[in-house]
């Protein structure tokens, strides 16, 4: 692949489960999932609560068990399932070792989460070999040094590399030579394309479009009518054209907190209280990372599992508790209906805060109070003091946003944690 851009997408297979098997080797070969917090453990009462599966071993998948499946349903599908609680700190420590290996081949590493990354190895080939050689070497080192299986896609762009890495899991290595991207994608189902969500796929199927090859041939007028302005970009990617660069992390794109409830919320006042708590948790993480949010998002999942996400742009980037709360409460008002199973608040369009920027404007008093409260919590614990509304406790859910690592703290900002 000399003379063209060479991108690797490395995806650790069932990463959370693989991390658990490193310290529980006796569970190898058995159907295992990582799910929830402390609801269910091996050898104890099998109470699924409202947890969902975060990762499933390949031995569990023939039964229909997969990530994002409610744990209660997973246990019905596979009664012999071994359920382990999420230990995000353990996975983060192992992830650092994984990314240390990536960095030995190229500085151009873009994390997708703790368990996947894009690597641009175009400039590494004179030293380390061509793309397939580097991919095989990384696979071998992950297995031999860390005991972790991984699948790798090698292609000339990020989209095709990601599709390739997912095609032959586990332990797959798929290479797409330059010039063959369109042929490689053409027979694959629409769902294989990153960014083609269920609603997009459903709209395209109404036109008889079922494969990426069909999408690649769709004319401009029909494409705009069905998908709007973003349709052309999706079609280009279905053709294997994706100029997006591999971007090493600096400021994360977003961060969020979620909570799944033991019983569906039917009272608006209780939902508002939870949105306040989630907003405060997000705001504190922003301040800890020296970041400001340009927008706030709200995610609501209802009793029928339908999920709605809304976003509101702030008048100015902010990290103050009350500014985030006000935006999140407005979004809750727009989507509210009784029977809420999950709520999440997110900070979007993140930027580093400048020196002194934190205390500018009419929110100065509130911002100073936020920082004072943060210092008390840092000293005496997160439950030491709050704004009179209680605390989230230890029952927050982890989602993929939490797995995105923060880069170095921006100049003038606070020290960033190693992972969200």
pLDDT digits (tens, 9 = 90+) for 82-108: 999 999 999 999 999 999 999 999 989
Query: Among candidates 54, 123, 153, 76, which has minimal Cα distance to 397?
Result: 54
Alpha carbon distance 329, 341 (integer Å): 17
Q: Is the pTM of this model over 0.95?
A: no
pLDDT value at residue 285: 86
- The candidate with the shortest Cα–Cα distance to 161, out of 4, 15, 3, is 4
Q: How many angstroms separate the Cα of 65 from the Cα of each of 61, 79, 80, 116, 367?
A: 5, 11, 12, 21, 46
Whole-angstrom CA distances from 216 to 185, 205, 234, 242 are 9, 14, 9, 13
Of the options 3.30.70.1350, 3.30.1490.100, 3.40.50.800, 3.40.1280.10, the CATH number for the domain spanning 254-403:
3.30.1490.100
Q: State the pLDDT at residue 393.
A: 47
Beta-bridge partner residues of 34: 55, 84
* Residues 322/263/348/383 CA torsion (nearest 10 deg): 50
Domain ranges in the chain with CATH number 3.30.1490.100: 254-403
Give the up-direction half-sphere exposure of residue 399: CA atoms within 13 A in the CB hemisphere.
16
In which residue ranges of the chain is CATH 1.10.150.20 found? Answer: 182-238
| Blockwise average pLDDT, block size 10, the chain, 420 residues | 78 97 96 73 54 93 93 92 92 96 93 94 87 97 97 97 96 97 96 90 91 93 83 92 86 84 94 95 85 94 93 92 95 96 94 52 52 55 48 42 38 31
Per-residue pLDDT, 44: 45
Cα angle 277, 278, 280; round to 5: 65
Contact 171, 149 (CB under 8 A): yes
Residue 324: strand, helix, or coil: helix
Architecture of domain 182-238: Orthogonal Bundle (1.10)
Q: Tell me whether residue 26 is one of the annotated catalytic residues.
A: no
The predicted-structure confidence for 325-367, as pLDDT tens digits, reads as follows 999 999 999 999 999 999 999 999 888 765 334 444 444 445 5
Average pLDDT, the chain: 83
List 20, 59, 116, 181, catalytic entry: 116
pLDDT of residue 197: 86
pLDDT at 58: 96
pLDDT given at position 366: 54
């Amino acid at each position: 692949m000399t003379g063209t851009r060479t991108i690797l997408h490395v995806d650790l297979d069932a990463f959370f489960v693989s991390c658990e098997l490193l310290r529980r080797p006796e569970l190898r070969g058995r159907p295992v999932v990582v799910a929830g917090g402390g609801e269910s453990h091996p050898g104890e009462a099998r109470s699924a609560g409202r947890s969902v599966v975060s990762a499933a071993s390949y031995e569990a998948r023939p039964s229909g068990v997969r990530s994002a499946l409610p744990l209660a349903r997973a246990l019905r599908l596979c009664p012999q399932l071994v359920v382990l609680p999420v230990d995000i700190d353990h996975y983060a420590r192992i992830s650092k070792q994984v990314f240390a290996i990536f960095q030995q081949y190229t500085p151009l590493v873009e994390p997708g989460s703790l368990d996947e990354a894009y690597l641009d190895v175009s400039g590494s080939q004179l030293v380390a070999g061509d793309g397939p050689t580097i991919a095989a070497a990384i696979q071998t080192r992950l297995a031999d040094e860390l005991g972790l299986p991984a699948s790798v896609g090698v292609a000339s762009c990020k989209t095709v590399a990601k599709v390739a890495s997912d095609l032959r899991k586990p332990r797959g290595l798929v290479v797409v030579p330059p010039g063959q991207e369109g042929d490689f994608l053409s027979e694959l189902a629409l769902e294989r394309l990153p960014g083609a969500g269920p609603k997009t796929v459903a709209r395209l199927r109404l036109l008889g479009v079922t494969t990426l090859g069909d999408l690649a041939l769709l004319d401009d007028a029909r494409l705009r009518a069905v998908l709007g302005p973003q349709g052309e970009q999706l079609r280009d990617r279905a053709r294997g054209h994706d100029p997006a660069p591999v971007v090493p992390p600096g400021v994360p794109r977003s961060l969020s907190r979620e909570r799944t409830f033991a019983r569906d919320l039917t009272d608006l006042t209780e939902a508002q209280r939870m949105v306040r708590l989630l907003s405060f948790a997000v705001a504190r993480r922003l301040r800890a990372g020296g970041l400001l949010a340009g927008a706030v998002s709200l995610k609501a999942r209802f009793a029928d599992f339908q999920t709605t996400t809304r976003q509101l742009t702030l008048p100015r980037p902010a990290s103050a508790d009350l500014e985030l709360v006000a935006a999140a409460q407005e979004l809750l008002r727009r989507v509210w209906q009784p029977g809420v199973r999950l709520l999440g608040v997110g900070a979007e369009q993140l930027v580093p805060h400048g020196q002194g920027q934190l205390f500018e404007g009419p929110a100065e008093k509130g911002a100073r109070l936020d920082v004072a409260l943060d210092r008390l919590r840092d000293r005496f614990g997160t439950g030491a003091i709050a704004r009179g509304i209680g605390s989230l406790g230890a029952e927050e859910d982890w989602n993929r946003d939490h797995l995105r690592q923060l880069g170095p703290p921006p100049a003038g900002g606070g020290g960033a944690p190693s992972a969200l």
